[in-house]
Structure 1
């Protein structure tokens, strides 16, 4: 640490707070922390004390000399050095007081600047927070609209999906029904093929029966023709009988008239008889 020299850095803006103010010959600043109210860290403070102590020992007269003139010169030199040291200490105290005053004023100015900067940063933060809050609200509104739109689209998609599921279910049911009908149709075809064979056999039987019926019909037709001839004959006989009946009815009416006339004549004859009696 001997390459550092005692030099106070009054630029309060450089380095962190409570940092050692010792600066090296190369212009590098010590990075050690310093105690409260001190300008140097403990290491450089001990280095400064040791340097001052060695400097006092270097200027102290040798203790082995016994010459009065030497002692007189030594006492004069010691007194002069003491005066010099006292003046130097007072100068350093004044310098330290000036530095403390400058540091206090600089600190006050820096505190004011920091307060102004903090106020500006706070205002900027408030504006930025308000802007971000407004932008966030706008984004939330946009997101809400997008979410509403997405929900509508999702509802439409769910409805379409439900409709497609219903269509698929209907198609599957139709497919199952078609397969069932195809199987039933195959069974029906087999059944109707058997029925057709049965009907064909029955048709052959019916054709045979039809031939027999045709023969029977022909026989019946001949018999009917014969009966028709008989009917014509009997119809003629009926007409003759009807004519005879009408003649008989005429005769019956004539007889009835004759009978009535006879009865009337008889009653008249009887009336004449009883009148004469």
Structure 2
């Protein structure tokens, strides 16, 4: 008997990838949720807007997971959380046992969602990940490409570290957990590829690839060599970001007997290639 998988947030980066890659996955979009349970939504990732929409952020990122944990009974609930539950002050990659200290409303709402599930007694797997990137939806790579085509200069923060996590990688790891059925991991785990970078070097890599791509090489107004590195203090946003978003994946590797997870560039470049091939080329601004 094949496994049946219900995916909330099917139009987001990760939800779309789950429906695409997981056999038996059925996606639920916002329209379905509005009809069935009008008081809840399926996703909330607007980090800066959450500072002004605290109630909405908590309703979606905390109350909704809490309701799901009560509804799923013995079915496995896989919940995706975020590096934003940490303040980023550590000099080391964060472990699951490190105390959360969110800097933003969004981070606090994600932590509340984690606790709601972990304390519910549900059959649950909570995965923290960072810097998601996929073909579907908006992400950092698509923003950099758009800005590099429409602006004459581009500044990117250099003092925030993290790990780009392609959605195909994350879904493949989830599939490995699902194949273990009742023997699979439960509780809280960190899951990202190996390696780390910062937003500036990440953006530079994106543009270096775009400069070699037939669809983009002639329309980029900002080349990789012209990127300007700045500090977080030079780019103030409504919601504070952790300077260190690196996550230790030792627990996950131990469960699966892995010496190492693939390096982020190994799993990132195929996704960037597909984005460069499919993403609509933005109109240039004079």
**What TM-score does the superposition give when structure 1 sets the normalisation length?**
0.16
Task: Identify the structure with bigger relative contact order (alpha carbons < 8 Å, sequence gap 6+).
Answer: 2
Greater helix share, 1 or 2?
1
Structure of larger gyration radius? 1
Q: Going by fraction, where is strand more abundant, 1 or 2?
A: 2
Q: Return the TM-score normalized by structure 2.
A: 0.16
